[in-house]
Structure 1
Amino acid sequence: MMGRQVNFWLSDKDQIELQSIVLSKGSFAVINTQLKAPAILLKEKFERVHLEHKVERFHIVPKALSEEIVWEHNPYNGTYDPDLSRSSVIQYNPCRIEGSSIFQGRFYFQARYVDDLGQLVEKHAMFTKIGDALLRLVRKNLNHLHSGFYAGNEALKLKDAGFQFRP
């Protein structure tokens, strides 16, 4: 609801480069998903901690707003994730490659949400400004394809070699 995003297809090399560009700005820290405790374990890089999963999502948070995270508990596996609606976090879903298919990734955040009383709540203006700047940075460093979709240089080479871009 009321989110902003950029969708893309990236090779492994493209993802490493894009992650480096994003984190080089110095204003973000990384939070892995499915934490065993509702604690901020900020990291300076994207690293998988659940190797049994095909894809691991991440959240990035502006360091200045890291204390404003609202946690959601998943009672089925006893883990915690940042509440994407109510927290000042940006979700990052990396691409994955299976066989000759590259599956779509994205950066996504919500600038506002509807609270429990049905009122529209605007998130911190600094967060929205930082989130929009991140999406612009991602778009600037990728190739525009169509209708808001982007691809990395290496992913385009793989596509030319017969790989398929998948949603």
Structure 2
Amino acid sequence: MGHQINFFLMPEDTRLLEKRLREECPVVFLDGESRDSAPVQLPDLEVAEFGKTRLRVILVQPEDLKSVILRYIPQQGHWSVDSDRSPVIELDRCYYDGEILRRGRLYYQRQFAEHGAWVEKPAAFQAWAKRVFSVTRKTLQKLPDRPYHVGPHALAEQRQGHVKLMASTNKPLLP
């Protein structure tokens, strides 16, 4: 079973969320891909260049770094974090082009299938993941009647008509 939060974060909101996570949860940021079998640590959640920087970041507790599993993807010529079997949270950062802000999300699974049976991820990981989700929910505002959370900067920019919040369709989420 998976857990997720869908959100809209401007770059300033992403920095705010990162700050809160670092204050309240031990966290390391990883690139979801690597050129070899070792995970690549990222210094922060900043997107260096929209359209060129991969938006997926992997969150992991420092003590779980040794438990992160990477698998080789021969068709693409790189290693990828196996989020199903690793004690990690996926964070898909929001794409922003100056006018349109696309949905991002946090996602993790409590368990995974192995040899026809469900295997629970460690209790310590699950408690940490719940804490990360709690901090995220407290940092962001839930949109009424919608399954999305939004950062304070994104909400202000949307209300002023400076940005359109886009979910998965080409239609703005809010007028």
Secondary structure of 1:96's counterpart equals: coil
How far apart, CA to CA, are the structure 1 residues paired with 2:17 and 2:159? 21
Q: Does 1:164 align with 2:164?
A: yes
Q: Show the counterpart of 1:72.
A: 71
Aligned length, in residue pairs:
165
Q: Show the counterpart of 1:45.
A: 44
Letter in 2 for 1:56: L
Give the alignment's TM-score, normalised by structure 1: 0.89
How far apart, CA to CA, are the structure 1 residues paired with 2:13 and 2:19? 10
Give the alignment's TM-score, normalised by structure 2: 0.85
Give the C-alpha shift of residue 150 in structure 1.
0.5
Q: Show the counterpart of 1:144.
A: 142
Percent of aligned pairs sharing the same letter:
24
Give the C-alpha shift of residue 50 in structure 1.
8.3
Whether the 8 Å CA contact 1:50–1:56 is kept in 2: the answer is no
How far apart, CA to CA, are the structure 2 residues paired with 1:79 and 1:127? 26
Give the C-alpha shift of residue 129 in structure 1.
0.6
Letter in 2 for 1:125: A
Letter in 1 for 2:32: T
Runs of 5+ in structure 2 lacking a partner?
Answer: 168-175
Give the C-alpha shift of residue 77 in structure 1.
2.4
Whether the 8 Å CA contact 1:88–1:127 is kept in 2: the answer is yes
Give the C-alpha shift of residue 52 in structure 1.
6.1
Whether the 8 Å CA contact 2:57–2:92 is kept in 1: the answer is yes
Q: Show the counterpart of 2:171.
A: none
CA deviation vs aligned residue, 1:106-156 (integer Å, no higher than 9, x gap): 1111110111x1100100000011001100100011111144410011101
How far apart, CA to CA, are the structure 1 residues paired with 2:57 and 2:63? 18
Q: Show the counterpart of 2:105.
A: 106
Whether the 8 Å CA contact 1:59–1:90 is kept in 2: the answer is yes
Moved more, 96-105 or 123-132: 96-105
Give the C-alpha shift of residue 71 in structure 1.
1.1
Give the C-alpha shift of residue 43 in structure 1.
4.1
How far apart, CA to CA, are the structure 1 residues paired with 2:47 and 2:54? 9
Runs of 5+ in structure 1 lacking a partner?
Answer: none
Letter in 2 for 1:143: Q
Q: What RMSD in Å do the two structures reach over aligned CA positions?
A: 2.0
Q: Show the counterpart of 2:96.
A: 97
